[in-house]
Amino acid sequence: MKRVGILLLTVVISAFPLRASEDLSLDISLTGKKRKQIEEVKEFRKMLSELLKEEYREVAPGIKIKMGCAIQRGVASWYGGRFHGRRTANGEIYDLFKFTAASRTLPLGTYVLVRNEENGKVITVRINDRGPYVDGRIIDLSQAAAYKIGMMMDGVALVQVIPLRCLAPESIARFYDEIILDIANSY
């Protein structure tokens, strides 16, 4: 509902174009009514601009999310070898070469952006399993996903887990190619 209202307001504003050369203090040819109308449009544009800015918050350099969305921050680990070929919680066969992950709280089938806070690398994975079953960890990545974000050697890393539905449009645009390739590699 909020987005529809903002869209309608944007259409209304565009009906009153305001040129950069229009300076209200210097233009004496404007009637009182026209001057007031232009001032109202300027004020309204300023208010709308602030409203749109408040809709998203930055959680990392270049990554903005919707205000109402929560992200998880904590320790990630990875799992591979002995689980390869076994059934996951959603019934599919675990493949350590796919970009998938296990989470105790996120719904199965959810796509998330995982950002390694130690090196800034990101990956998009699909939640297809439950876990990790070690206290203090928030997500278990497949071996391929762990390799891509540079945490294979240490085995664990401090990460942010951000559902894709929470990303701001400019963040999706920034990571678009990576997201598409990662999603394609999650099946």
Domain residue spans in the chain? 2-54, 63-184
Band the pLDDT of 180: cuts 50, 70, 90.
very high
Task: Answer with the residue of higher pLDDT: 41 or 4.
Answer: 41
- For the stretch 38-65, pLDDT in tens is 887 787 777 766 656 658 999 999 999 9
- For the stretch 62-78, pLDDT in tens is 999 999 899 999 999 99
Vertex 157: Cα angle to 152 and 162 (nearest 5): 110
Place of tokens 């294979």: 152
Tokens of 15: 């009906």
Mean pLDDT of the chain: 84
Phi, psi (deg, nearest 5) at residue 19: -85, 150
* 3-state DSSP assignment of residue 137: strand
- Domain 63-184 classified CATH 2.40.40.10? yes
Q: Are 102 and 91 in contact (CB under 8 A)?
A: no
Q: Sort residue 155 into left (φ over 0), alpha (ψ -120 to 50) or beta.
A: left
Range in 16-20, 49-53, 111-115 the model is least confident about: 16-20
Mean of the pLDDT values across residues 76-84?
A: 95
